[in-house]
Structure 1
Amino acid sequence: MPIIKKSGIITLCGRPNVGKSTLINTLVGEKVAIVTNKPQTTRNRICGILTRGESQFVFVDTPGLHKARTRLGDYMVNVVRESVADVDAVALLVEPIPNIGEPEAQLIARVKTLGCPAVLVINKGDTLERKDKLLEVIQLYSQEHDFQAVVPISAKTGEGVEELLGVLEGFLPDGPQLFPEDMTSDQPERQMMGEILREKLLLSLDKEIPHGTAVEITRFVEREDEVIEVEATIYCEKNSHKGIIIGKGGAMLKKISTLARQDMERFMGTKVYLQTWVKVKENWRDNPAAIQNFGYHQD
């Protein structure tokens, strides 16, 4: 293995559903962040680690900056603001639309205050019918801030990602590696199991219900036969939601659990025995103790 000569921390930020989690998975080459087409999928700060050549990148995936409506929402917005501080560079992800919304304006203001290098990453290039639209987006954002670089990409197809890595590598300071070479995320396996289950809730349930769910992994044991036993409790905010999550004859919970178990097995590389329960904890998103108990707390 080459000796690591450069390493640094790069924050990915942007509005909800702009593709931050998809990009971090593409950059790292492995699924380290859950992905759905619903906003506010990411709740916590997640690190994705890429070691290649003489460089180590530590990418920080943040929740999308949105208008908070609960204490959990306040926490998520604060995570974004804090994640832009004390990093070596910021990658602001935007959609290929010539309009700067309030979330983008807030993040640009934060970057200006900190004075750290910033790259404008225009994602979802694969959705553009006319590439000249990109010029409008670039001109608009260039008037707002002097970005060190502008890189159009598609996190979904991988187009432009190599170019983005080349640009970001230029911001890595000299220094030793921060994580072991084979590490792709700083998330404990137990936490990743909970995130995988939460992803399946988001994918399988409609409207507000999945956003009011939290997952607690109450048991995580590796047996001698290499099977991993996982017990998880899904919390929701209303009895009516509990019924929907369980479904008729337990069908919905079985579907969610099966999808989660299959993904857990892919992630762990071994068999997983998963048991799930559903409990009601009313208004937990506005309860500071509950928010902290579910792992949403800052260092």
Structure 2
Amino acid sequence: MSDAHAETPELLHSGYVAVVGKPNVGKSTLMNRILGEKIAIVSPKPQTTRLRQLGIYTAPDVQAIFVDTPGIHQPRHKLGKFMVEVARAALNDADVILFVCDLVTLPDDDDARAAAMIREAVKVPVVLALNKLDLLKPDQVIPHIEAYRALMPEADWESLSAANGDGVPALLRRVIEKLPPGPLYYPEDQLSTTALRDIAAEIVREKVLLNLEQEVPHAVAVEVEEFAERSPTLTYIRVVIYVERESQKGILIGRGGAMLKKIGSEARAELEQLLGTQVYLEPWVKVLKNWRQDEALLARLGYKLRPQ
């Protein structure tokens, strides 16, 4: 045990759980369900998660730190490459790997890619989370489960629905029993390590994802330029929403500013609930041409590629 944790209690089960899988299988929804709070943004669109996000589950003699990761896929630009590397790094740091799969469809190339990446990582226990059981027809259940189990025959598994919670407690027990003894890494009442200004940026990006279609949401990055408590009852937040082309800027702003106003209103309502104050949210939209292919711009926006 390191000196940093020398005075912390030794728990029966403690460690990091990498939550991995291809895009849009419900990784963030599952983590939010386990924690009982919204820690990670969610949307029906693939590749919603871009950065590693910690969710901290603490119970008597247990602390499981869930690491939500971007979906593993074949990257088409440097942002995609960054996202896959984030997932790979989480695997290498994990005490347990939670491999989330979408039972609605049979395994595809991205599922196989994720399984291969898991096998290449450090040798730790793997638990298959076979999600979206509630959406299957009865005659699909057994063949679909068997197809995913064949990807990782040695792994433990549980079928579940992150959306309604069925099977999640049983999955959590399987994960916890595989964690080794270890320290209390974080205070018992802490749920995340993400700074409030970063949460604010993600909430705004989530509302963009939920309100816009086609390529525009994937070309969006959000940067908080100012986050200030103006008074005990008012928080001022100025955000810049970046897109790659002028045409995308027009779509995001909408006719007469209607779309930007809708996105801002939805984000403000959630931020006020989170912060417990009134929020003055000032959103701006700017073009940052081809930022997803520019390593310097990616680094500026928090997506820094590691040297190969």
> Does the CA-based 8 Å contact 1:6-1:177 persist in structure 2?
no
Task: Give matches, 1:231-246, under 5 Å.
Answer: 231-246=238-253
Opposite residue 112 of structure 1, the aligned amino acid is R
- Check if 1:267 corresponds to 2:271: no
- Kindly state the Cα deviation for residue 177 of structure 1 after the two structures are TM-superposed: 1.0
Secondary structure, aligned partner of 1:182: coil
Which of 166, 169, 187 aligns to 1:162? It is 169
- Kindly state the Cα deviation for residue 139 of structure 1 after the two structures are TM-superposed: 2.5
Opposite residue 32 of structure 1, the aligned amino acid is I
Opposite residue 45 of structure 2, the aligned amino acid is K
Name the counterpart of 2:57: 50
- Check if 1:190 corresponds to 2:208: no
RMSD: 1.7
Which of 67, 73, 98 aligns to 1:66? It is 73
Name the counterpart of 1:128: 136
Question: Matches of 1:252 and 1:212 in 2, distance apart?
Answer: 16
Q: Deviations over 1:193-227 (max 9, x none)?
A: 00000000111111001111111100011233232
Name the counterpart of 2:231: 224
Q: TM-score with structure 2 length normalisation?
A: 0.92
Q: TM-score with structure 1 length normalisation?
A: 0.94
Name the counterpart of 1:253: 260
Name the counterpart of 2:296: 289
**Gap runs ≥5 in structure 1:** none
- Kindly state the Cα deviation for residue 98 of structure 1 after the two structures are TM-superposed: 6.5
Secondary structure, aligned partner of 1:84: helix
Larger displacement relative to structure 2 (263-272 or 275-284): 263-272
Runs of 4+ in 1 over 3 A off after TM superposition: 2-5, 141-144
Question: Matches of 2:148 and 2:29 in 1, distance apart?
Answer: 23
Name the counterpart of 1:14: 21
Question: Matches of 1:159 and 1:116 in 2, distance apart?
Answer: 26
Opposite residue 72 of structure 1, the aligned amino acid is L
> Does the CA-based 8 Å contact 2:295-2:305 persist in structure 1?
no
Secondary structure, aligned partner of 2:64: strand
- Kindly state the Cα deviation for residue 3 of structure 1 after the two structures are TM-superposed: 7.8
Question: Matches of 1:224 and 1:17 in 2, distance apart?
Answer: 39
**Gap runs ≥5 in structure 2:** 1-8
Question: Matches of 1:147 and 1:94 in 2, distance apart?
Answer: 16
Larger displacement relative to structure 2 (209-218 or 243-252): 243-252
Question: Matches of 2:33 and 2:305 in 1, distance apart?
Answer: 26
- Check if 1:84 corresponds to 2:98: no
Which of 34, 45, 70 aligns to 1:38? It is 45
Name the counterpart of 2:3: none
- Kindly state the Cα deviation for residue 278 of structure 1 after the two structures are TM-superposed: 0.7
Give the count of matched residue pairs: 297
Question: Matches of 2:217 and 2:155 in 1, distance apart?
Answer: 38
Q: Sort the Cα spacing of 1:47 and 1:210 in 2 relative to 1 into closer, same or farther, 3 A.
A: same
Opposite residue 181 of structure 2, the aligned amino acid is D
- Kindly state the Cα deviation for residue 149 of structure 1 after the two structures are TM-superposed: 1.4
- Kindly state the Cα deviation for residue 5 of structure 1 after the two structures are TM-superposed: 4.0
- Kindly state the Cα deviation for residue 16 of structure 1 after the two structures are TM-superposed: 0.8
